[in-house]
Every structure is written in structure tokens, then in C-alpha cells.
């Protein structure tokens, strides 16, 4: 998962901050930085806005310009300014340069009125919906499902950013340099101007948009059939929130009937009127409102059930094939009256899993389409873990024997069993395995190459294609697709694609460091009143640079400055918090003792 978002409250809101509808505005930080554990597709970390680009404080990044000051805490430390400093020190230039403002005006005018064009199917009448964070405005994908003979037909539409942003233009150059929208705990730095990523290229509710569409049928056993990639004109009919849809899906799966679809809309969607079909059962598919037919009563109930059914089948098939499952909580800073006061857990729910499974499937469809079309692109890989021997040792500590050679299916079976039998200590194991697996990376993908593969997903063909508003490789993928569909020459040579992959991988490393440092700064502020307390944790890093421990509850990480000799990744320890320094991103621990666990008895 990606770095925690900011949970912002005024004093009178404190008693309500555990409410499900106010949780979780963080989730898109997973895939383009240190990713959901496996470097695959996820759904967190979109732009979060209050008013004109504010992110939980007075720090602003609006029209590419940073202004003002950010979160102040008891130390008088400015977290938002620190985030900007981190960006500059790493060599990034988040300020948009010359020519961007003028290009934004041109693009907005061009996309103000859309009409179906040759080769673009008009699918605005379908029951498209999105599920994202409550405050998200940069919406990359929408989905619609249909029961057909042989299974469930899924259509996943992605905002067609490549159709709006010309290759080599000022906006494109900025996006390529930065490579992705950068999410810190207190401030986000968009890859694209907000007028695009949160505006005309975002699949916002009730807006007509051009989309790249991956279609496929999910069979009863999760097999994917009739795969197709095409272009379409789409309209998001319901902008929903993870925090609301997740609990609704759980209730529905338990047999509870709840047809109040208006309650599932996100906070940002509630700033404008909903599609009439969501709140008025009298509407039917013969009524036209704002240029698009309305839908039959309770259409969204059926949609979400179908999408969830398909996602469950896809997920079961992926796990059967060896994909890894991680159930891992993330840090969620709590800010009250402008001050960071705590770090809490944010846990993935069923709606997040639904979107993740659909996006993983869609990315596979795109990768196979490019390969079939004879086009080179970028593949997203997680290589076989170099420290498999340490993973084997960790499993052995819990009573599980893994094969000598890397085997994702065997690893996942052990992880699942540990999670079911020992949920208290499962996070220790999950964090350790994630660290030992390492991050995902981009590689050149030639059509005739044997795919490197994605160990965590047990997938051979995999690319990034579902987040072009916040990730540059996805724009590259769209350009390759456009050229393939029209028979045009490739937009990038193989050498250029390889160079883009190297640049994105290098940027990933820098951005992961920025994220870690900002997470530590926020945690240093939040935990400053708890110096002297002892916490259970797990070693997540051990090298010449030092030993690092992650505390599970509340989730935060620091360096062991006393007693760290001989510790290795996966060791379970009790540590005392002895010092915090937000300015230097320091959280210091002293090892108190080792934690030992009896081996679990396998069934």
C-alpha cells in the first residue's frame, strides 16, 4: 500500500473519526510508488482536494505552483514545506514549466464538446460506475458488467490521456520527467495539471469522456475469455467511495438488502447532482437526461453485485495459479486542528479488492493485446525473490516448509494459513515477505520476447495501463495502442522504451525514499509524546546502512540505534522509542528484547 493520506478533523469531529464514511482517503498510493506489496495494480492515492487544491492544510499545489505553508505541529515543523524540499533535493521539479498553462487552455477547449468519431464506440448509455477514495477527483477508471452466456462480460474504461496530451509537448515532458503523481503524507504533487488529471481527462461523474476500453468475459472458474481492447465514449453514472461500497458489499454478501445507492456516492461526487437514475425509481431506460438515457431502477445494485461476483472469481483463479495475497494495514495520519496527533491503521476492504482484481485483469488484457499486435511496450515485473532462502527460513519459524526453489503458490498457502491461525502475528510475516520480495520494476517488452513475468501475480504478461492520469508508463502504453490500432509507426523505438523504463525505475527509488522520509516525519510528530514506550515490531531492513524496524500497531518505522547487531529481516523484536526528529526524518529505537513465537500446527 502507499503512504498514508491525511485524515483531517476539527476539534468537534474527533468523536466521529472512526466512522466508516470518514475513513481512508489514501488508497491510490499503492501502485506507482512502493506499490501494493507486489508492484501490481491497485486503487489508492488519487488527488485529494479541499477547495482549490488544498490537501488537509494550507499547502497548495494549484496550477503547478506551490504556495503557502503546510501542516504545523507542536514542534513548529512545516511538513508540507519539507515535502517540497524532499522533491527538490531528489532532483524533481514539481513546478510546471513554460508552455504548460497555454497547452492546458488548448486541451480544455478541445475536450469541452466531445462527439463520437470513427472507430470510437458510443457507450455512454451503459451503467458505468467508479469506486475510489471519498475525496478523489483524478478518476482513471470506470467499470460496467453484464451477465452473458458463459459468464460475466466486464468492460473497464480508462481515461484516454494520450488522446489529449501530445507526445513531446510541455505537459508530456513534465510527466515523463516526474514519471508519476507523487503522494506524501501531507501533500501531493500531480504529474499532470489538475485541470486535466482532476478535470477533462478524469472520468468524473456525469462527464462525457474518451476512453480506452479493455473488455473480457469472466467464466465461472475465473478464466478470461473473448479479450478485446478498443476505444469508446463513456459517461460515469455513479462516482462511489471505497469506504461506503466495501461495507455494503459485505452486508450484501451476508444477505442484507440495501438499495440506497445514493449513500454510496463519494464526498467529492456529492458536490453536484447525482444521475437521476440513482435516486428516482420511476426513471427507466427510455428517459433521456442531459443527453444520456437513464437506467432501470436499482441498476447500480445489480452492477455492484455482478462486478463483485466477477472479481471474486478472478481472484480465486489468480490465487489458484499462485498469486500472492497480502492483508496488510497502512499508516493513516490523523490531523486535528492542523496538527498531526496520531497514526492509525487503514485496512483494505472488499471494494478495494474488487477494483484491484479488475485492474489486474485489465492490465493483462492490454499486455496480451500489444503482444498479439506485434508491438513493443513496457512490462511491469516482480522478479523471483533473490532472498528466497530467508523467506523459507521465516516460514520454517512458523512451522511451514517451503520448497528450495521459489514457488509463489506454496508461499501463498503458508501465508494464508498463518493469517487464519495467527492473525495477531500475521502482519509481522507479511511485512517481512514484502520487504524480501522487493519492488516492481519496468522493462522493455518486445512482442517476440519471452515475458519476464510477475512473481507476485503469477502472471506472464503484465503492463501498466489503468492509471494514465497519475503514471507516465500508462500514457506510453496508450500511445503504443493508438499506433497499433491505426497501423501507424510505433511512437517509441525499443531503445526509447528501454530508456523510459530505466528512468521510471530510477525515479521509483527516489520516490520511495521521499515517501519513507515523509512517513517518518509525520510519525515523528505523531509519536513524539510516546517516547519511552515499548512496541512490538519486525525487522524490515538490515544492511551496512543500519537496522530498521516496523511497528505494527500503530504502523510506523524507525532505525534501531541501540542493540541492532545481528538482527535480520523478519526478526521479531520489542523496541523502545527513544527519540524523534521530524526535521531529519529520524525515529530512533533501542532493542529491548527478541520476540519468539511457537511454530503453528498445520492442519
DSSP assignment of 167-189 equals TTSHHHHHHHHH-B-EE-SS-EE
Which top CATH class is 374-594?
A: mainly beta
Asked if the model's pLDDT at residue 316 lies above 60, the reply is yes
Report pLDDT digits (tens) over 28-74. Answer: 544 433 344 444 444 444 443 333 233 333 223 333 333 333 444 44
Do the strands 534-543 and 546-551 form a parallel or antiparallel pair, or are they unpaired?
antiparallel
Band of residue 570 on the pLDDT scale cut at 50, 70, 90: confident
Give the residue-averaged pLDDT of 484-500. 98
Residue range(s) occupied by CATH 2.40.50.140 in the chain: 374-594
- pLDDT per residue over 437-454, tens digit each? 888 899 999 999 877 778
Residues 240 and 242: their CA atoms lie apart, in Å, by 7
For 413, counting Cβ atoms within 10 Å of its Cβ (0-12 exposed, 13-18 middle, 19+ buried), the class is: middle
How much is the average pLDDT of 189-217?
97
Question: What is the 3 state secondary structure string of 424-490?
Answer: CCHHHHHHHHHHHHCCCEEEEECCCCCCCCECCCCECCCCCCCCCCCEHHHHHHHHHHHHHHHCCCC
- Encode 484-533 in three state secondary structure: HHHCCCCCCCHHHHHHHHHHHHHHHHHHHHHHHHHHHHHHHHHCHHHCCC
Mean pLDDT, rounded, of the chain: 83
C-alpha cell at 211: 476512453
- Of residues 17 and 237, more confidence is placed in 237
Is residue 92 predicted with pLDDT exceeding 50?
yes
**Grid cell at residue 364:** 493483462
Cell of 453: 513475468
Amino acid at each position: 500500500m502507499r503512504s498514508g493520506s491525511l485524515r483531517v478533523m476539527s476539534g468537534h469531529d474527533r468523536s466521529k473519526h472512526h466512522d466508516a464514511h470518514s475513513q481512508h482517503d489514501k488508497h491510490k498510493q499503492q501502485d506507482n510508488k512502493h506499490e501494493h506489496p507486489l508492484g501490481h495494480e491497485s486503487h489508492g492515492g488519487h488527488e485529494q482536494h479541499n477547495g482549490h487544491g488544498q490537501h488537509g492544510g494550507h499547502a497548495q499545489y494549484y496550477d503547478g505552483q506551490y504556495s503557502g505553508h503546510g501542516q504545523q505541529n507542536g514542534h513548529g515543523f512545516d511538513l508540507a514545506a519539507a515535502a517540497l524540499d524532499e522533491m527538490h533535493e531528489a532532483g524533481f521539479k514539481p513546478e510546471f514549466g513554460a508552455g504548460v498553462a497555454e497547452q492546458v487552455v488548448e486541451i480544455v477547449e478541445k475536450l469541452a464538446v466531445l462527439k463520437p468519431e470513427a472507430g470510437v464506440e458510443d457507450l455512454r448509455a451503459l451503467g458505468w460506475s467508479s469506486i475510489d477514495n471519498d475525496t478523489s477527483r483524478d478518476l482513471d477508471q470506470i467499470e460496467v458488467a453484464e451477465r452473458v452466456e458463459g459468464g460475466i462480460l466486464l468492460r473497464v474504461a480508462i481515461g484516454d490521456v494520450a488522446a489529449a496530451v501530445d507526445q513531446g509537448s510541455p505537459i508530456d515532458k513534465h510527466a515523463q520527467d516526474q514519471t508519476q503523481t507523487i503522494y506524501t503524507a501531507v501533500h501531493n504533487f500531480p504529474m499532470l495539471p489538475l485541470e486535466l488529471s482532476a478535470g477533462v481527462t478524469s472520468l468524473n461523474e456525469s462527464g462525457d469522456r474518451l476512453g480506452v476500453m479493455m473488455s473480457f468475459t469472466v467464466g465461472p472458474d475465473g478464466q478470461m475469455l473473448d479479450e478485446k481492447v478498443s476505444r469508446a465514449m463513456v459517461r460515469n453514472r455513479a462516482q462511489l467511495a471505497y469506504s461506503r461500497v466495501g461495507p455494503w458489499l459485505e452486508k450484501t454478501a451476508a444477505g442484507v438488502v440495501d438499495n440506497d445507492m445514493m449513500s454510496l456516492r463519494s464526498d467529492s461526487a456529492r458536490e453536484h447532482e447525482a444521475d437521476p437514475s440513482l435516486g428516482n425509481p420511476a426513471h427507466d431506460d427510455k428517459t433521456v437526461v442531459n443527453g444520456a438515457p437513464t437506467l432501470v431502477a436499482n441498476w447500480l445494485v445489480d452492477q455492484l453485485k455482478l462486478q463483485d461476483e466477477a472479481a471474486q472469481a478472478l481472484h480465486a483463479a489468480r490465487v489458484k495459479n499462485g498469486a500472492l495475497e497480502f492483508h496488510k494495514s497502512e499508516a493513516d495520519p490523523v490531523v486535528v486542528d492542523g496538527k498531526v496527533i496520531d497514526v492509525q491503521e487503514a485496512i483494505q476492504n472488499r471494494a478495494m479488492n474488487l477494483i484491484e482484481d479488475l485492474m489486474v485483469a485489465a492490465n493483462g488484457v492490454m499486455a496480451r493485446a500489444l503482444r498479439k499486435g506485434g508491438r513493443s511496450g513496457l512490462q511491469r515485473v516482480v522478479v523471483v525473490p533473490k532472498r528466497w532462502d530467508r523467506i523459507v527460513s521465516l516460514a520454517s519459524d512458523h512451522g511451514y516448509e517451503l520448497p528450495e526453489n521459489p514457488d509463489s503458490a506454496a508461499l501463498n498457502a503458508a501465508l494464508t494459513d498463518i493469517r487464519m491461525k495467527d492473525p495477531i502475528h500475521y502482519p509481522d510475516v507479511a511485512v517481512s515477505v514484502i520487504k524480501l520480495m522487493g519492488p516492481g520494476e519496468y522493462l522493455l517488452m518486445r512482442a517476440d520476447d519471452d515475458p519476464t513475468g510477475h512473481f507476485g501475480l503469477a502472471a506472464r504478461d503484465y503492463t501498466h495501463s489503468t492509471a494514465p492520469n497519475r503514471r507516465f508508463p500508462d500514457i506510453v502504453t496508450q500511445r503504443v495502442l493508438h499506433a497499433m490500432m491505426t497501423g501507424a509507426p510505433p511512437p517509441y523505438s525499443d531503445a526509447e522504451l528501454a530508456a523510459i523504463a530505466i528512468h521510471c525505475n530510477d525515479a521509483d527509488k527516489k520516490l520511495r525514499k521521499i515517501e519513507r522520509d515523509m512517513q517518518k516525519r509525520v510519525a515523528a510528530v505523531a509519536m513524539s509524546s510516546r517516547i519511552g514506550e515499548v512496541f512490538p515490531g519486525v525487522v524490515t531492513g538490515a544492511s551496512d546502512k543500519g537496522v530498521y524496524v516496523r511497528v505494527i500497531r500503530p504502523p510506523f518505522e524507525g532505525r534501531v540505534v541501540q542493540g541492532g547487531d545481528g538482527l535480520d529481516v523478519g526478526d521479531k523484536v520489542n523496541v523502545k522509542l527513544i527519540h524523534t526528529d521530524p526535521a531529519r526524518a529520524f525515529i530512533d529505537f533501542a532493542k529491548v528484547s527478541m520476540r519468539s513465537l511457537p511454530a503453528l500446527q498445520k492442519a
